[in-house]
Amino acid sequence: MMIAEEHWASKGEVSLFLWRKRTAAARHPIPIVLVHGSSTSAIPTFDLEVPGQRDYSFMEWLAERGHDVWTLDHEGYGRSTVTEGNADIACGVEDLKAATEVIARQTGAQRMNFYGLSSGALRVAAFAQAVPDRVARIILDAFVWTGEGSPTLAKRKEGVAQFRANNRRPIDHAFIASIFTRDEPGTTHPAVIDACAKAQLSYGDSVPTGTYLDMTTKLPLCDPRRIAAPTLVVRGEHDGIATMEDLLEFFRLLPTGDKRFAVLPGVAHCTPLGVNRKLMWEAVLNFVS
């Protein structure tokens, strides 16, 4: 039987929503924390229900295989406190510090595995660099290091003035759909795109600008030579957020001898919700198990 629980972490006056799934037969002692990206929060990304479609909850899939799975809404997203800040990557690191205190109390685990998607991967890498004692293994999916040669970031830089002037940016159904179609149409089922958009927009019609501003003006945000944790770098074949050259150089500089690099065919940017999502799911399961 699946056990689902909500928890809350406090970061000063900010309340952070945490969501946990596991079964009574959970057997892996190290929890795994899933970290969302810039435009969709935790549940629309990792625990999505899609009418007429099966198996789109990454959380449940991992939990069914014995893992204790957690995710959170970062400051300014989903059910967490919306503040006047822009929720940049540094803010996300502080969110993870607060969240892992709760997870440690609830599970007794002092170290966790972390999976991050897109700007969530940047949060995870920065957290692994800042708080190495909390980290067992990390997975960086749809990650960007320097941003050199990225077509997605080149387009996004057109909005830098807006990101600097406003701490939140508007989103709508069409914008969320574009996340799934901008790189390679057909890599995500239309019903999934619609379900994700509806789930995200139920929280409101805007999200913070901080991660977009960081990714267009401040890269690189982490130093691979200072990340000691075993690392899996995952890239969808069609993802325009980072070039292979950028990611391979990051990978080369990681000091750990326990590192893997996976390129997934038929996959674009939003890996967990793609038609070929289980290529990523299986790679993550193998790495953390």
pLDDT tens-digit readout, 107-124: 999 999 999 999 999 999
The CATH code for residues 2-288 is: 3.40.50.1820
- Indicate whether 26 pLDDT > 90: no
Q: Which residue has the higher pLDDT, 26 or 148?
A: 148
Interacting residues of 252 by C-beta distance below 8 A, sequence separation 6+ = none
Residue-range domain boundaries for the chain = 2-288
Is the whole-model pTM more than 0.85? yes
> How confident is residue 185, by pLDDT bands cut at 50, 70 and 90?
very high
Mean residue pLDDT across the chain: 97
Sheet of strand 259-264, all strands in order from the earlier edge strand to the far edge: 2-11, 14-23, 69-72, 32-35, 112-117, 135-141, 231-236, 259-264
Q: What percent of the chain has pLDDT over 70?
A: 100
Average pLDDT over residues 43-64: 97
pLDDT tens-digit readout, 33-45: 999 999 999 999 9
- From CA 71, how far away is CA 44, in angstroms rounded? 11
